[in-house]
Amino acid sequence: MPKDGLEENNEVKLDGQGKPLWLCLELTYRCPLQCPWCNNPLDFDTYKDELSTDDWVRVLREGREMGALQVGFTGGEPMMRKDIVEITAEASKLGYYTNLVTGGVGLTKDKLEALKEAGLNQIQLSIQSCDPVMTNKLVGAEAHDDKIQTAHDIKDLGFPLSLNVPVCRESIDQTREILDMCEEVKADYLEYVQIQYYNWALLNRDELLPSRDQVIYAEELINEARERLGKKMTIYFVVPDYHDKFPKACMNGWGAIHLTIAPDGTAMPCQEARIIKEIDFPSVRDHDLSWIWHESPAFSLYRGDDWMKEPCRSCDNKEQDVGGCRCQAYMLTGDATNTDPVCYKSPHHHIIEEAIEAADRVGRNPRPYVMRRVQSASDLRQSSAGE
Amino acid sequence: MAEAPQVDETPQIDPADQFEVHPFYVFRWEESQEAHVLLYPEGVVKLNDTAAEILKLCDGDRSVTQIIDELKNVYDVSDPDTASRIEAGVYKFLEDSHAKGWTRRK
């Protein structure tokens, strides 16, 4: 404390200082749900060789040595791993803030108690609608009632309750009722999240992307709720990037603070990066995390802004939005070094405008969702082999 | 009759208030940052020394007055200006940190 009194500002800026602060561990791609916006790869069913418990513990230890503070266990459904409690206990012992990202299936009260005992800090539970019929349709399983029960159990055990509600065209008009539901189960945090259009979500984009009017109305209701609920429930809501003027600052930049490990040990700067086929991502089976983070070509590829082309290179906003998302640029324009086409300055921005128009077209014939199933994955492989 | 508020929202700090770190937050020293940090769902805050000094005293037991007295014992307050700055600083910090959800009233 300075002798002459107290400083005004309590927070010190936490940039990564080159450290991977966030570790995202995709423990498995196995999942009892079939959500059509799943961000897992289209060939998720071919990843059978998951890392062992010892591998995950080693990754956690190496991450902590490098200054990682937060770990998220996700998937697939992390509860499908028999060693989830063991892995959580190790992470907690190492000093991580531990987050479990779950669909709730398999998260019984016994398991919750064991996780609490293991030191788990928080659970982010996904729920898709306030209406059981809609939830079950969207996830392709009878899951709604279990999810609600799990929400109550989470509260009963004294965990903070974070609900993650993905917003899509079919459910967004229920915003008011969904907010009521979240209030009823006493959620502490609500992430009313926009679907990001990669992998399964991209296949289903026309059916999932809400219209601009739907988004504007939902935002009004969210703002009302924020006003009314104050600190009782913290609500995170951002306008979907397709409807925004500037792109999202994806992962705060490539290889800046995020490190994802896929079930097979592949290390990536985000969960979607494998979309970029030309990049050879390293595996924790072959290298330690420090080499992967500091030395591997894959992680330094789009660090900083040297890789940027125009219009990013000379843009005043480049430090705020880091040029958007490399995966989205690659997927939609074929070149990961292009400006994210969500940006109004991008020469490819028409792709986004056309997608919004296509989804909104009057008289468009809705198609059924392509659910994230083993059967769909194998059908997709067959049809792409036939092309 | 108005319902009793379920959540402690009062921004006004009373000298007798007792604050504790909100149980959703983990407050600890982090060697790799050479600083105290607050960890919470999906977030990390790195604190400066001043904030950490005050937060350490937010144990749910000490009152605001006691926190101020303890800090006055630690620092040289022969200059009355310093004493009043400490007092104002503690109030300001408790207001801010409470508004951010880092602490709650016991």
Q: Cα separation of A322 and A299, whole Å?
A: 15
Q: How far A1 CA lies from chain B's nearest CA (Å)?
A: 5
Residue B91 lies in a domain: yes
Quote the domain boundaries for residue B73.
Answer: 18-105
Residue of B28, B29, B44 to mutate when probing chain A, most A C-beta within 10 A: B44
Residue B100 lies in a domain: yes
The conformation of residue B5, written as its DSSP 8-state character, comes to P
- Distant-in-sequence, close-in-space partners of A48: CB < 8 Å, separation ≥ 6: none
- Distant-in-sequence, close-in-space partners of A387: CB < 8 Å, separation ≥ 6: none
Number of domains within chain B: 1
Residue B77 lies in a domain: yes
- The total of other beta-carbon atoms located within 10 Å of residue A60's CB is 25
> pLDDT tens-digit profile of A77-96?
999 999 999 999 999 999 99
Peptide bond into A311 cis (omega under 30): yes
Residue B11 lies in a domain: no
Residue B5 lies in a domain: no
User: In CATH, what number is assigned to the domain containing residue B27?
Assistant: 1.10.10.1150
Q: Which of A15-19, A373-377, B11-15 has the highest mean pLDDT?
A: A373-377
* C-alpha B3: how far from chain center: 28
Q: Are A248 and A193 in contact (CB under 8 A)?
A: no
Task: For residue A232, give the nearest of B6, B26, B35 by CB distance.
Answer: B6
> 3-state SS of chain B: helix, strand, coil percent to 5?
40, 25, 35
Is A5 close to B89, i.e. CB distance below 8 A?
yes
Q: What is the mean pLDDT of residues A96-106?
A: 96
Residue B31 lies in a domain: yes
The conformation of residue A305, written as its DSSP 8-state character, comes to S
Question: What is the value of pTM for the model shown?
Answer: 0.92
B24's enclosing H/E stretch is none
Mean per-residue pLDDT over chain A, rounded: 93
Q: What is the mean pLDDT of residues A31-37?
A: 97
> pLDDT tens-digit profile of A233-243?
999 997 788 98
Q: What is the mean pLDDT of each run of 10 residues along chain B (106 residues)?
A: 50 90 94 92 88 95 95 85 90 92 91
Is B30 close to A162, i.e. CB distance below 8 A?
no
**ipTM of the predicted structure?**
0.85
Residue A123: beta bridge partners?
A100, A161
- Which chain B residues touch A97 with a CB distance below 8 Å? 26, 39-40, 44
Residue B2 lies in a domain: no
Nearest residue in B to A257, CA atom: B44
pLDDT value, residue B80: 83
A21 three-state secondary structure:
coil
Strand extents, DSSP E, chain A: 11-12, 22-26, 70-74, 97-102, 122-126, 161-167, 189-194, 234-237, 258-261, 267-268
Cα dihedral value A171, A173, A176, A177, nearest 10: -50
Residue B94 lies in a domain: yes
Task: For residue A7, give the nearest of B7, B9, B48 by CB distance.
Answer: B48
